[in-house]
Amino acid sequence: MSRIDLVKAAVDEQLDDSYDLLAMRILFPPDRPEVEIKQEIKDLYVYPERLKTGYRDEWRAIATRALFRNAFGDHWRSDEDNLDRYLSFLREQAIPRCVHENIDLFRMLGEVLAIVRSDNAIAFPDPKRRALMKIIWPEKGSR
């Protein structure tokens, strides 16, 4: 199995949780982020579907790149052993520290996940939702 196949399988099996993916996004930020991570999480309150589509795909790609670039440093070990050791480091040290240092972002993500999983949450089509949201919660200074 090639390295990229190992990495993709690891992301699928071990880093597919939204909290883990958020931690990977924080630990390995894109070179030129279009939106700050705090704003991305805030946007999920209004557009929770982004968690299943755009953000999740972006965060999975970040996790894949990070593992591919960083997990294979010990050349005398097998690729599988290198990847296992790096994943252990992430799970035992890096991700818990990231959660601790960014607890507010993880709490907001938890709230969004609770809303998404709620039986009484209704998603409106995008253009109509924006119009309705402006009526319900007008932006400050727009009157």
Per-residue pLDDT at 23? 96
Average pLDDT of the segment spanning 20-48: 89
DSSP state of 35: S
Average pLDDT of the segment spanning 113-141: 67
Nearest to 24 by CA among 70, 59, 52, 55: 59
pLDDT at 141 over 50: yes
44 near 101, Cβ under 8 Å? Answer: no
Per-residue pLDDT at 116? 80
pLDDT at 143 over 50: no
Say which residues have a Cβ less than 8 Å from residue 122's Cβ, sequence separation at least 6.
Answer: none
Percent of the chain with pLDDT over 90: 54
Q: Worst-scoring range by mean pLDDT, 62-71, 96-105, 128-137?
A: 128-137
CA-to-CA distance for 4 and 67, rounded, in angstroms?
Answer: 9
CA-to-CA distance for 115 and 49, rounded, in angstroms?
Answer: 11
Determine if residue 29 is left, alpha or beta; phi over 0 gives left, psi from -120 to 50 gives alpha, anything else beta. Answer: beta
Residue 139: half-sphere exposure toward Cβ, Cα within 13 Å? 4
Average pLDDT of the segment spanning 51-64: 89
pLDDT in tens, 96-124: 999 999 999 999 999 999 888 776 655 55
Per-residue pLDDT at 64? 95
Per-residue pLDDT at 118? 73
